[in-house]
Amino acid sequence: MNLNKIVDACKVEMAPPGCPNIFPPPKPTPVVTCNLVKDEVCGNIEQPCDGSFVEYWRVVGLPVLPSGTVTVYNGSDCIMSVRAVIQGSLIDLFTITEKNQTKAVTVSGIESLDVQCLGGATGATCSGRFCLTLHYQKDCVEEVFE
């Protein structure tokens, strides 16, 4: 029996009975479904106006880093510098120079938020508020449909 003639007579898509299937059937592609979550994390800023950075928020336990908007309000006479770790890099986000001023920025892949306060009178306290509106995936499940 000439195997080449049998293989030539068989179509790739579906092997008829008696023909060898030379191509394995395609494997189903898994589909990942996740719940999209929106959280708001807010807190007060209160620290010495001495130039040191204070960490106010850090992501913990999420397999995918969140995206979202960082908003900071300066309620003091100190100058606020706001930075964040974004996708592994330390980034200066913005500086707030005036009392009662608010600034915001939207970022992707935020890991932490730090604030530095400078200026003001000797021994001055820097005060304000931060809010993070975060969007991230949670409870992801891989399903295979056949």
What structural domains and CATH numbers belong to the chain? 27-144 (2.60.120.1330)
For 40, counting Cβ atoms within 10 Å of its Cβ (0-12 exposed, 13-18 middle, 19+ buried), the class is exposed
What is the per-residue pLDDT across 108-124, written as a single tens digit (0 to 9) for each?
Answer: 999 999 999 998 677 78
Q: What is the pTM of this model?
A: 0.73
Quote the DSSP letter at residue 98: S
- The pair of structure tokens assigned to 101 is 């001023």
pLDDT at 77: 92
**The residue type at 16:** P
Higher model confidence: residue 4 or residue 107? 107
Going by C-alpha positions, the residue among 34, 44, 52 that lies closest to residue 139 is 34
Mean pLDDT of 91-120: 96
Mean pLDDT of 40-52: 96
For residue 2, name the pLDDT band (cuts at 50, 70, 90). low
